[in-house]
């Protein structure tokens, strides 16, 4: 059950509490963390559920001259996905050629980051798999929405969204895009995700790499 206000000690604590809420699964899920902050949460969740862990990298495609105004996104995976917001694309006058060039550039950055985090380990094939997408919290939901759409395009059979905290309105909107939602705290007015944690220090690339190194490809996270 969602609560309007709930605090977590740190991201690991949030992951363990999500695992308690989700309970035992019999559909052999793959847990995907959104770097960087979602990975410590996802690691604890995967460890508690005895599930394999991977990451899902999402890169926003900005409008021409307004990089913070998203016209779409690219999401990594065995078959990288492009997610286009056609209405916004038309509104800002961006061409398909611009979109494709920016998508290619962002995919290069995704590949660079994946190599930093995972070396040559290939992305998990998500076709016909049960997937749990995890972040440390949601503000606007833009990256999560792109990730969820890409997971559908990748052929995931069952998608669960698991987050410690998110605005109630955003969670209700995301319910239509997934099979299950687990959100432990959903205030009406979320001022900042960080306010729901005692320790919300920035997750470093080194921490992400170290956590992912504790699970070999296809294996379970190690204590």
* pLDDT number for residue 133: 98
Number of domain units in the chain:
2
DSSP 68: E
Average pLDDT over residues 61-87: 82
Q: 33-42, 56-65, 72-81, 169-178 — which is least confidently predicted? A: 72-81
Q: Is residue 221 part of a domain?
A: no
Do residues 53 and 63 both lie within one domain? no
Q: 17-26, 58-67, 196-205 — which is least confidently predicted? A: 58-67
Indicate whether 202 pLDDT > 70: yes
Question: How far apart (Å, rounded) are the C-alpha atoms in residues 30 and 125?
Answer: 10
- Which comes out higher in pLDDT, residue 30 or 70? 30
Q: Is residue 180 part of a domain?
A: yes
Domain end call among 117, 136, 154: 117
In tens, the pLDDT along 8-23 reads: 999 999 999 999 999 9
* pLDDT number for residue 223: 59
* pLDDT number for residue 1: 46
Question: Across the beta sheet with 58-63, what order do the strands follow?
Answer: 58-63, 66-75, 81-84
Do residues 173 and 68 both lie within one domain? no
Do residues 72 and 181 both lie within one domain? no
- Full-model pTM: 0.85
In tens, the pLDDT along 98-130 reads: 999 999 999 998 989 889 999 888 888 999 999
Question: How far apart (Å, rounded) are the C-alpha atoms in residues 23 and 186?
Answer: 20
Other C-beta atoms lying within 10 Å of the C-beta of residue 84: 18
Domain that holds residue 152: 11-57+120-213
| CATH number, position 29 | 3.40.50.2020
Do residues 146 and 167 both lie within one domain? yes
Average pLDDT over residues 167-188: 94
Residue 65, token pair as written in the block: 């001259």
Average pLDDT over residues 143-150: 88
* pLDDT number for residue 203: 95
Q: Is residue 130 part of a domain?
A: yes
| Interacting residues of 163 by C-beta distance below 8 A, sequence separation 6+ | 18, 134, 135, 136, 137, 138, 144, 182, 183, 184
Instruction: Find, among 115, 121, 159, 166, the residue nearest to 139 by Cα.
Output: 166
Pairing state of beta strands 66-75 and 81-84?
Answer: antiparallel
Q: Is residue 3 part of a domain?
A: no
Q: Is residue 167 part of a domain?
A: yes
Indicate whether 78 pLDDT > 90: no
Q: 83-97, 104-118, 157-171, 174-188 — which is least confidently predicted? A: 83-97
Question: pLDDT > 70: what percent of the chain?
Answer: 94
Question: How far apart (Å, rounded) are the C-alpha atoms in residues 76 and 87?
Answer: 23
């Amino acid at each position: 059950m969602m609560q309007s206000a709930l605090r977590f000690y740190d991201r690991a604590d949030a992951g363990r509490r999500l695992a308690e809420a989700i309970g035992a699964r019999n559909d052999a899920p793959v847990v995907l963390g959104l770097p960087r902050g979602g990975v410590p949460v996802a690691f604890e969740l995967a460890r508690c559920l005895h599930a394999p862990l991977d990451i899902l990298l999402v890169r926003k495609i900005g409008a021409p001259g307004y990089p913070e105004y998203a016209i779409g996104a690219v999401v990594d995976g065995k078959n990288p996905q492009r997610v286009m917001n056609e209405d916004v694309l038309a509104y800002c006058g961006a061409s398909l050629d611009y979109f494709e060039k920016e998508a290619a550039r962002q995919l290069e950055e995704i590949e660079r980051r994946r190599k930093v985090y995972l070396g040559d380990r290939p992305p998990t094939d998500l076709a016909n798999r049960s997937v749990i997408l995890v972040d440390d919290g949601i503000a606007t939901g833009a990256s999560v929405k792109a990730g969820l759409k890409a997971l559908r395009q990748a052929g995931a059979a069952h998608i669960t969204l698991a987050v410690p905290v998110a605005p109630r309105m955003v969670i209700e909107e995301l319910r239509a895009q997934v099979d299950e939602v687990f959100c432990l705290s959903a205030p009406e007015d979320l001022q900042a995700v960080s306010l729901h944690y005692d320790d919300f220090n920035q997750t470093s690339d080194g921490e992400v790499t170290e956590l992912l190194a504790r699970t070999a490809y296809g294996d379970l996270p190690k204590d």
